[in-house]
Amino acid sequence: MKGCVHSPECGGCRFGDVSYAEQIAEKQAAFTHQLPASVRDTIQPIIVSQRTEYHRNKMEYSFFLGDDGRVQLGLKRAGRFDQCVPTRDCRLFDPRWSLVWDVIVDTVNRVGWSPYNPKTHVGLLRYLVVRRSEFQDKWLINWVVADDVSEQLQPIAVNLRAQFPWVGGVVMSIQSSISDTAFSHDVRVLDGESTLLEAIDRWIFRVSPYSFFQTHSSQAAVLYRVAKTLADPKMDERMLDLYCGAGTIGIYFSDSVRSVLGVEENPSAIQDGIHNCAYNSVSTMQVTQGKVKNILKFERPEAELIVVDPPRSGLEPKALRRAAAVGASRIVYVSCNPKTLGIDLPMLEAEGYVASVIQPVDMFPHSNHLEAVALLVKSR
């Protein structure tokens, strides 16, 4: 990011001092190169982000020992999993972050807690995951630690909320495995709320500490509008929302189809999906928990429209074949990884679906990531 004091050491922004226009040109070329030649004439110009700074609604910062011997908080150093850069003045997140950073860093050094060492697997403090709702202008702070220190953290949480009125809730997650991940099933509320509410156009969604939600809220609305326009849903159609997460896409489409069935493996996301349907008074959508490939095999749902939003690893081959076997007239593929999209498109073509339009959307300024929506039409 041009002018960032942490560039180029910080791995949060891969483009450094490259202008946004140059970033888009590079992303367009890279995206086109990663897709099969047979679909390249369907690729549209990238829809750019109107906000390129302070735009992310979620950041995952790491605790680490600085060169001065003090505990610091920041992002991974570019190309290193075991080194970090103190990012007090991060321009990806809310500009008020520096105020909170000061208090947290001063607090953990005063208390004397040690950061977790990813090489020796010794230490307490692992990550600080911060989520922000633009709709509410509230934050949810998640302390990810290697052991239960809820009694010591609880007054710290109360103090954070007292000092910063935009902090709506503070939780603690225990992550004691050696895996280099902030994810945990053991989440405990320390003070305030354990969830946020975020809006995409007229729909409002609950976001839990580990819910999947697009990390650029305003651009998420752009992405969903593109998906809905390309899908061209009809009021007499049944829709499958595969890898539905907290039900955001299905709910967004729910006023334009007869019914929606959402399929999601994560039980926490399923609970958010049930809540979100009720909160938005959506009675035409159901969500079911399970692996997509298994639900498609054993429950054999019927649909005229399918929307898939798989993880970065793309569609499992069995899930892909079974989704195609449903026989929907259209499949809308929302991709967060051009590489796996490039693998899945020929497989879908072999199953009788042809790419009609591929629309990339820039959700992640200053990174090399790119989202895309592909419309596939059944050819036989």
CB under 8 Å to 29, separation ≥6 — which residues? none
Q: How far apart are CA 310 and CA 299, in angstroms?
A: 20
- In this predicted model, what pLDDT tens digit does every residue of 86-140 receive, in sequence order? 999 999 999 999 999 999 999 999 999 999 998 899 999 999 999 999 999 999 9
Which residue in this structure is represented by tokens 């226009």? 21
Mean pLDDT calculated for residue range 368-373: 95
Residue by residue, DSSP assigns 176-241 as -SSSS----S-EEEEEE-S-EEEEETTEEEEE-TT----SSHHHHHHHHHHHHHHH---TT-EEEE
Q: How far apart are CA 115 and CA 166, in angstroms?
A: 26
- In this predicted model, what pLDDT tens digit does every residue of 138-188 receive, in sequence order? 999 999 999 999 999 999 999 999 999 999 999 999 999 999 899 998 999
Q: Is the dihedral of CA 168, 173, 179, 183 positive or negative?
A: negative
Query: Average pLDDT of the chain?
Result: 95
Q: Do 178 and 247 fall within a single domain?
A: no
Position 1 scores a pLDDT of: 66
Its pTM stands at 0.93
Q: Do 243 and 147 fall within a single domain?
A: no
For 113, phi and psi rounded to 5 degrees? -75, 145
- In this predicted model, what pLDDT tens digit does every residue of 31-67 receive, in sequence order? 999 999 999 999 999 999 999 999 999 999 999 999 8
Q: Please check the confidence at residue 10 and state whether its pLDDT lies above 90.
A: no
Q: Do 180 and 225 fall within a single domain?
A: no
Position 97 scores a pLDDT of: 97
Q: Do 69 and 177 fall within a single domain?
A: yes
Domain residues for the domain of 181 are 58-194
The total domain count for the chain is 2
- In this predicted model, what pLDDT tens digit does every residue of 279-302 receive, in sequence order? 999 999 999 999 999 999 999 999
Amino acid in the structure at residue 270: I
Q: How confident is the model at residue 243 (pLDDT cuts 50, 70, 90)?
A: very high
Which of these ranges, 7-11, 255-259, 308-312, 360-364, has the smallest mean pLDDT? 7-11
Q: Do 95 and 190 fall within a single domain?
A: yes
Q: Do 254 and 336 fall within a single domain?
A: yes
Distances (CA, A) of 333 to 76, 92, 195, 218: 31, 27, 28, 20
Q: Which CATH number do you get for residue 101? A: 2.40.50.1070
- In this predicted model, what pLDDT tens digit does every residue of 192-242 receive, in sequence order? 999 999 999 999 999 999 888 899 999 999 999 999 999 999 999 999 999
Q: Which CATH number do you get for residue 327? A: 3.40.50.150
Q: How far apart are CA 350 and CA 213, in angstroms?
A: 31
